[in-house]
Structures are given as C-alpha cells and as structure tokens.
Structure 1
Amino acid sequence: MNHHFHDANVPWQRVINSKGIISPRGPGGARRQAAFLRREGVIVGTGQLRELTVDLAVYGWFPDVLPSEAAEASGSEEEEGSG
C-alpha cells in the first residue's frame, strides 16, 4: 500500500520520524522545528544522543484511514455511481 503525505492538512513542523525523533534538516533545522512545536504546546525532549524527541504515545497521530486515502475512496465511489 502506498501512503502519500497529505500536505493540505499537515503543517511541516508536525512531521517527525516514526521513532519520534525530529530529523535534522540542515543547520539548526531540528531546533527550529522544536521551537515551532513548543509554541503549539508540544513537549519536546532530548534523547540519549542529544536528539530532539516527541513522545508519540502522547502526540502521535495514527488514523485508521489517511486523509488522502479517504479522498481517493470517495472519488472512486462517485465514479462508480455516475455510470
């Protein structure tokens, strides 16, 4: 199954890796992203290797259906009903 990022709904600063670590995006990128998240009320921690982390058990988003999949499914239903 191919999952696509749905950029219409997700601001860039909310995208972190699957381990809850803020990936470096150039010099100061991770610190900048952490600052944006903190302004939104997200608690950003520091891991054992000094990486910036977010607790996915608290802040993770794990939908049953991704918004892009829901849009594709509703588009398919409309096409089937238009015949």
Structure 2
Amino acid sequence: MTDTTQDFIRFAIDKQVLRFGEFKTKAGRLSPYFFNAGLFNDGESLMKLGEFYAAAILKSGIQFDMLFGPAYKG
C-alpha cells in the first residue's frame, strides 16, 4: 500500500467518511465498514480530496486533457 493510499484512508477516517462497525447495506447484506462520500462536504475536505484525485491520476500515467466526474450524490 502506497503512502498516498494510507494518507487517503487516514483522511477518510479522520473526516468520519470511512467508519468501521456493523452496517446493513441497502441490499440487506452486513458490512464491516461504511464509506459515506457525502461527508466530504466542506471546502477544506473537497480541496484535500482533489489533491488525492490529482495524485492518483498523475501516478497512473494516463494521458488526459479533461476530467469529468458526474454527481452521484443528489
């Protein structure tokens, strides 16, 4: 696991976006964790999230000239 991956996981835990426990999914299955991306809901969090996206994209080596991200959270 890369340092960036570990930093992202720590960030998600610190912001309570990633939680561990016993959660029931919409499909009725039990999960030991829950990731609620909707909690990245302030300017500081969004800026940091953008930095993680940028690092991942650059590390991938994919050439691009545009980035598109549809809004899936209402």
TM-score, normalising length from structure 2? Answer: 0.27
Where is the strand percentage greater, Structure 1 or Structure 2?
2
- Structure possessing the higher radius of gyration over alpha carbons: 1
Structure in which a larger fraction of residues adopt helix: 2
